[in-house]
Structure 1
Amino acid sequence: MEHDEEQGEAGRPVGRRSGALRIAGLTLAGALVLGTAVVGWAYWHLNHNIKSVDIDSALGSDRPARVETTPSASAPAAAPLPTGSLNILVLGSDSRSGKANKELGGGDSSGARSDTAMVVHLDAGRTKATVVSIPRDTLVTRPSCPLASGGSTAVAYGAMFNSAYAVGGPVCAVKTVESITHIRMDHYLEIDFSGFAKLVDALGGVDVTTSQDIDDDQSHLHLKAGAHHLDGKQALALARTRHGIGDGSDLGRIGLQQMLVKDLLEQMSSTRLLTDPARLYRVADAVTSGLTTDTGLDSLSELMRLGQSLKGLSADRVRTVMMPVVTAPSDHNRVIAEEPAARELWASLR
């Protein structure tokens, strides 16, 4: 016997309509579940990209005092964004860990060096910043540093600045910077060759303008003076080059690195990441894949919170300088801090 379909208003078959609604509802529910799973996996993946070092526990209390800050009175009571001044040690390392770093010319397989060192000082309110580069060839008194394997390194006089990272990793790099500056490093960020190149590529490259020809066989970079659009590998070569410019010293390379920092900030501010989720993910993946932080910044939520607190900081409000140095009397290929200028610079950032 045939069963007539139940008729609704205007004679429409109710059974067929309700079946279609059920299918649409199940499809939507499935899409939401899948979307939530994808977002959850992406967050997990980005979070697990980040490597961290517990610098606070390693160094203990024998450090410059931390600057105490209070939230803005106008900020909402629930989890207000931080607004206080902040000092971050940012290192670029030539680690040869991993295939990508090896292909990009990382250091010896037995270790890594910190050939780029910048102290980033964020003013209270976080709408202005000062980036101070420390030449790797600076001769310093390297303090005794605790080792992860136990024991500690010996104090070294007249040691090259970048040897701190080589002998004691991030912990010794932070302690050495604090001993030079007498400023507490609130956070530590390190990015390797591969992570930097991936970041530039994820942003679609970076526009730079060089004031002189660059001809460096060691970094494989050959550019005529003028405007250029660089991909990640070329931008990394620019950050590393020094033999094809000026007197071939690290001081000329610092000038290029500071120019590149400003150009990258401009590129990031002009790229509408929030309206392009796919590119935003690529940038986040690039940043976190080559990143090592202190334990205060070792999660995606903490990094996002730091980034959100900098929404009022534009590239034109970032000042880049180099720690004042002079040629070392003992070695014309090395430099030492120029006093009292260096001491006065660090005092201005406390």
Structure 2
Amino acid sequence: MSAESTPGPGTPGESGSTSARGAAEGGRRTPLARRRKALTATAWTAAGIVVLGGAGAGFLYYKLNDNLKTVDINQALGADRPAKAATGAENILVLGSDSRAGGNEKLGGGADDGSARSDTAMIVHVDEDHKNATVVSIPRDTLVDRPECTDSRGDAHPAARDVMFNEAYSTGGAACAVKTVESLTGMRMDHYLEVDFKGFQKLVDDLGGVRISTARAIHDPNSHLDLAAGPHTLDGRQALGLVRTRHGVGDGSDLGRIQLQQAFVKALVSQVKHIGLFSDPKRLYDLADTATRTVTTDSDIGSVNRLIAFADGLKGVDSSHMSTVTMPVQYDTADANRVVVDQRKARLVWNALKADRPVPEAAREGTASGGAAGVVTSS
């Protein structure tokens, strides 16, 4: 983790530049030192991206900066939002988009109908010390009350009751997805990160694959996945199939898929921490270029300098300090393909995060699970 004098990740108004810090430490940083800091941030950030979040990079500044796409969440949502955590803890909403455009239809198994939904949604809560993280997955098939919201173009969308969670994104984009999560949790989402199918696949390939082990065979022709039991190094196509399969394991629901996603995230974070990218500058640049081309961030971290500061503040978190949980839900009695929030147990999760405490076991007991726990582990 960075020294205590390092600016907090994504602090509004911070440029993320290292020059002030260098002066405080007794002299101006050399170009090499600044470049190595940027590369270090990129390596950690690659994990964040496929967490289904993140972004990254640092050298060839202008080229990478021009790659970035941003959305101004603060402007779209205004002041009617939960307050920021006073402790310095942060909540990051990470979405994986299932847009079929731009060649993604071949990856997603569907035709391009011009629509997009949040295929994967995770709240990454980073504690006050930026050493521990809790990842809370939100099932896309959860029935929720979507609040009234205004998208980034200024178009207003009325509130709706009992709609699928992932329709918030398809209705009003990132801003409406953030508004819906804040309404569900009572917590402010400090940052927003989004990656699509094609970007996810290329990022994994640029990393050289991700090592996992499967406790039993996984076969799902719908997601083009065929894995025998045992250790594997997944390429981008296989990794995408793994995090999207819902028929190859468990009860065939989105909940089983979430358990696979959570296991993959831990494997990815563990690998990126030890991948040794400094020995291969071209590979590192390819990763940075892909990351900045394929993610969308909120405007507070929408520049390479700010992303460096953001990633630098997160690099103290590794897989051994990361816990995962699914938002507590129960199967909908009226439709087995939908789930509803278990409000009492969900409050245990949100209250724990607000207090920077571990999620209690009582929040996990007796909820719908998916039946895929332990199928995938780090190799």
The counterpart of 2:343, out of the listed 327, 339, 345, is: 339
Q: Secondary structure at 1:302's aligned position in 2?
A: helix
For the pair 1:67 / 2:85, whether they are aligned, the reply is yes
Distance change in 2, residues 1:58/1:106 (3 Å): farther
For 1:55 and 1:150, how far apart are their aligned partners in 2? Answer: 11
2:108 maps to a residue whose letter is G
Q: Which residue of 2 aligns with 1:88?
A: 92
The aligned runs of 1:263-302 (5 Å cut-off) are: 263-302=267-306
The counterpart of 1:57, out of the listed 75, 82, 106, is: 75
Q: Which residue of 1 aligns with 2:106?
A: 103
For the pair 1:167 / 2:171, whether they are aligned, the reply is yes
For 1:348 and 1:208, how far apart are their aligned partners in 2? Answer: 30
Q: Which residue of 2 aligns with 1:119?
A: 123
Distance change in 2, residues 1:166/1:40 (3 Å): closer
Q: Which residue of 2 aligns with 1:187?
A: 191
Range with bigger deviation, 277-286 or 201-210:
277-286
For the pair 1:252 / 2:217, whether they are aligned, the reply is no
- Aligned length in residues: 299
Q: Deviations over 1:36-68 (max 9, x none)?
A: xxx998322211211111010000011111124
For 1:291 and 1:151, how far apart are their aligned partners in 2? Answer: 23
Q: Please state how far the C-alpha of 1:117 moved relative to its aligned partner.
A: 0.2
Range with bigger deviation, 172-181 or 43-52:
43-52
Q: Which residue of 1 aligns with 2:363?
A: none
For the pair 1:304 / 2:308, whether they are aligned, the reply is yes
1:332 maps to a residue whose letter is A
Contact in 1 for aligned 2:98/2:118 (Cα 8 Å): yes
For 1:169 and 1:296, how far apart are their aligned partners in 2? Answer: 17
For 1:283 and 1:225, how far apart are their aligned partners in 2? Answer: 29
1:61 maps to a residue whose letter is A
2:169 maps to a residue whose letter is Y
For 1:155 and 1:261, how far apart are their aligned partners in 2? Answer: 33
Q: Deviations over 1:272-323 (max 9, x none)?
A: 1234322221111121111001001111111111111123211110111111
1:42 maps to a residue whose letter is L
For 2:62 and 2:301, how far apart are their aligned partners in 1? Answer: 15
Query: What TM-score, normalized by structure 1, do the two folds share?
Result: 0.81
Contact in 2 for aligned 1:143/1:176 (Cα 8 Å): yes
The aligned runs of 1:194-205 (5 Å cut-off) are: 194-205=198-209
Q: Secondary structure at 1:256's aligned position in 2?
A: helix
Q: Please state how far the C-alpha of 1:190 moved relative to its aligned partner.
A: 0.2
Contact in 2 for aligned 1:120/1:132 (Cα 8 Å): yes
Percent identity between matched residues is 56
| Structure with larger Rg | 1
Contact in 2 for aligned 1:89/1:188 (Cα 8 Å): yes
Distance change in 2, residues 1:204/1:156 (3 Å): same
For 1:56 and 1:106, how far apart are their aligned partners in 2? Answer: 34
Contact in 1 for aligned 2:71/2:152 (Cα 8 Å): no
Query: What TM-score, normalized by structure 2, do the two folds share?
Result: 0.75
Distance change in 2, residues 1:106/1:143 (3 Å): farther
2:62 maps to a residue whose letter is W
Unaligned runs of 5+ in 1: 1-38, 70-83
Q: Please state how far the C-alpha of 1:331 moved relative to its aligned partner.
A: 1.5
For the pair 1:143 / 2:147, whether they are aligned, the reply is yes
Q: Please state how far the C-alpha of 1:247 moved relative to its aligned partner.
A: 1.5
For 1:149 and 1:188, how far apart are their aligned partners in 2? Answer: 17
For 1:297 and 1:140, how far apart are their aligned partners in 2? Answer: 29
The counterpart of 2:61, out of the listed 16, 34, 43, is: 43
Q: Which residue of 2 aligns with 1:230?
A: 234
Q: Which residue of 2 aligns with 1:210?
A: 214
2:295 maps to a residue whose letter is L
Range with bigger deviation, 138-147 or 268-277:
268-277
1:89 maps to a residue whose letter is L
1:166 maps to a residue whose letter is S
Which structure would you say has the larger RCO, counting Cα contacts within 8 Å and 6 or more residues apart?
A: 2
Q: Which residue of 2 aligns with 1:20?
A: none
Q: Which residue of 2 aligns with 1:33?
A: none
Q: Please state how far the C-alpha of 1:150 moved relative to its aligned partner.
A: 4.2
For 1:105 and 1:240, how far apart are their aligned partners in 2? Answer: 8
